[in-house]
Structures are given as structure tokens and as C-alpha cells.
Structure 1
């Protein structure tokens, strides 16, 4: 893996990434650790994988805390931040990466509960630990970010609408965050090769990935997109609080 943030840049800092036992979240943790940050690895039900990642990043000389939490359960979220406070005392970077809604067997309102309500609750629960100069990053997709103006696949529409609702709810908190000196950036990417969501969409719509890749010219892989997410936590906050990764012309009707 290349290293987007120079080694030592985040020395002494602590970063928490939700949903970080695998995929984009795990690679984001690796980039932060490579840059010297202590990391909090959050998972819902993949403890062995989270522990394996923790062992890997500890090999870089940083501390790693592994915390299982169901983000849709406020008590579970509070317990996670209590653990963070006990271990590190404060938090410098919060990446809201965990999302879902395409899983089978979930209640009808699960996507909204996870992608909107839980995101807001996680951020609000983290606030006592986030000081001036700290950063919050929310990870989304172009299919969700532009859903109000550009239709997406039927199979993904409910998730896209719930993630856009989450983004809107978080954006309402920006003025209050700014008053506390906390920067907030939305990172939006296209379909990411190798993610669970892309795999599920491909299953429902065979050829969807290839067709999107052709239209966009390039689709980022997990490591490439994670590098953008990690970079968003250290780069200056964009004026519109939005970092669009890759080509978006087909979403803007250009």
C-alpha cells in the first residue's frame, strides 16, 4: 500500500474509523497508523478480523484499541466512546465509514436507522472527545450524494436515499462543529471495486460494475479510495465541505 499521509504527520493523534475491520475502513486505519496515529478499530461482528488488523498496525509502533459496537444501539455507541476516553483521553479524527442497508433479513427501516440516525448519534456521542482542530469525515457514494438529481439502480435506491438523508442531517451540524473548531468533510466516491456493496449490486444487476467503469473511465479500488478518505482528514476542509473522488460528470448531467 502506498502511503498518502507522510510518516509522523499524525504522531500523538488518535483516529476512530467506524466499520473498520475490513475494506475501506481497514485500509483507512492502516493509512492513519502509517502516519503515526493511534487507532480505534470498530466492528459489529468480525472480532477476529479486527484483532488481526490491530496486531498488524501495532507492528508500526502505534497503539490500537478494538471496540465492538452496534452503531444503531445508542448504549453500545456510548460504551465505545467510554472505552476510547479510558484508553486515549480524547479523539482527533472520527471517520463515519460504516453503512449498510442491503443486508437480508433486516427491518424495513434499518437502512435509515443505520445510515442517518446512527451517524448523527455517533458524531454527537463523540463530541465530548473532539477538541479544537479535530476532524470528522463522512464517507458516502456518488450514487447517494447525487440521488436527488440522478437516479440509481432500483436495488440501491433505498440505501442511497438513506445515506443522503444521513449526509443532510450531518451537514446541519456543520455550523455548531465549526464554532468548536471541528472540521467536517463529506467524501463521496463512485462504485468501489471489491466492496461488499459493489458485489451485492453486481449480483442483482450482472454487468453493473463493468458498465459503470466504462461510463466513468475508471473505478477506484478499496485501497485507492481509502487513501482519499484518510487524506480528507488532514487536508484543508473544502469550502463546500465536500471531496468528490473521481469523475462525476455523468452525475451532473455534463
Structure 2
């Protein structure tokens, strides 16, 4: 996929942060975009307004990805509003919230990711692409320990990546490619803020080790590039090089 004109993309968790920036970038490249939010409609509507003001196409859809209804509503919105679905960016994640139940991380980071992909793949044509967004801390959790406060989330995201990778043969049969984008701690994200609160100094320590931590805008640009990158299915893009994880 080299041109997004006439294409449609769903970006989960895109009312703010990385997802919002990815939505704007894909829209600027010609894609019609489904902006997903769970609760904050005003933020999602603002993203849509910015895209439309720049001449792009977008719609906001409130959907809880841990429910079958929520997942299907995103696919239906893409088909109804824009005629199809060509790109799925699996950006939504969580698990550090304290009021969502003990199993929330696994339900969102594994089960919801699989359900979203399966629902999307049912309508995606050959040549489509799926991009799964994760962190080095999650991707390498079986080889490199992470902070105690983040370990349950990291393991649930790794479980999600593993479950999605198991679907690659099914996706290949449909001509759909699957790419993973893995990033370090991202400056300014909610997760980084919560981790630094749970373990003061964690962000600075990781910044010193890695040499640089990407901003939300910088990382979003890398995710957007993965949508049309000439890489094989199953490829993992290590944004920032994964210093301390791969060496």
C-alpha cells in the first residue's frame, strides 16, 4: 500500500495522544479515518474537526473494545461512512487503571485486539494492512524484566501480540499484511506518567539508558509510516533501536 487516497483506516484509541496523531497523519495522506474513543467524545470530535478543517475525512465512534458490540460498531462505521476498510491500527491499550477490574489488562490488550482484528479482516480486501502498536517493555518481557508496576500490562500486551501473530497465516490467505511497531517509553503519555508516579525517576533513568525517548508526535509518525512501509508481513519495527533490549 503506497497511496492512501480512497482508503479507509480505523485507529483504535485515537481521541488523544499517539492514536490521535496517527489519525491526523493518515488523513493528511488521503485516508478516510474512523477515530475511536471509549468515553471522551469531545476529544474525539476535536480530532475529527481538525482533520476535516485540513480537508480530510473522518468520523468519531464511541466504542468499548472489550465488547463485541463495540468492535463491530467500528467496522460498521468504516463500511457505512466510507465504503470499506483497508487499514487497521491497533493502538488502544491500557491496564494500569485501578477501577476496571483485575482482568482488564488481558481483556483489552489480548482479547479485544484479537476480536478487533477478526472483525476487521472479515471486510478488508487483499492489499490491506494491520499495524499493532506495542512497547519494548512488553515486546521483550520474556527476555528483559520491566518495572513491577508495569509487568501485568507488559505481559498482557505480549500475550496480545502472540495471539495476533497466530492469525498471520489466516491474514496471509486473504492478502492482508501484519506489522508490529514497538517503541520505548514515550514522553508525555499517560502510561509513562503513571509509571513515573509509581516509580519516581523511572522516565529519567530510561531516557539516560536509551539516549533519547520519542515524543508522542515522533512516535506517531513512525506508526503512520508502518501503514505503507515496504516490509514483509510479521515484521517488527523497533523505533529508537531498542537499546538495552536487543543487545
Question: TM-score scaled by structure 1?
Answer: 0.94
Q: Match for residue 190 of structure 1?
A: 184
Alignment equivalent of 2:11, drawn from 7, 17, 27: 17
Which of 142-151 and 128-137 deviates more?
Answer: 128-137
Q: Match for residue 148 of structure 2?
A: 154
> 2:95 touches 2:105 (CA, 8 Å); kept in 1?
yes
Q: Structure 1 residues 12, 94: CA separation in 2 closer, same or farther (over 3 Å shift)?
A: same
Correspondence list, 1:39-188, <5 A: 39-188=33-182
Alpha-carbon distance, 1:15 to partner: 0.9
Unaligned runs of 5+ in 1: 1-5
Alpha-carbon distance, 1:178 to partner: 1.1
Query: Once the two structures are superposed, what CA deviation does each residue of 1:14-44 show, in whole Å capped at 9, x if it has no partner?
Result: 1110000000000001110111111110000
Q: Match for residue 222 of structure 2?
A: 228
Query: Once the two structures are superposed, what CA deviation does each residue of 1:202-238 show, in whole Å capped at 9, x if it has no partner?
Result: 1011110010000001100000000000000000134
Question: TM-score scaled by structure 2?
Answer: 0.97
> 1:17 touches 1:97 (CA, 8 Å); kept in 2?
yes
> 1:89 touches 1:129 (CA, 8 Å); kept in 2?
no
Mapped to 1, the partners of 2:155 and 2:36 lie a distance apart of 25
Unaligned runs of 5+ in 2: none
Q: CA RMSD for the aligned pairs?
A: 1.2
Alpha-carbon distance, 1:76 to partner: 1.9
Alpha-carbon distance, 1:239 to partner: 6.1
Alpha-carbon distance, 1:79 to partner: 2.3
Mapped to 2, the partners of 1:240 and 1:82 lie a distance apart of 27
Query: Structure 1 stretches (4+) deviating beyond 3 angstroms?
Result: none
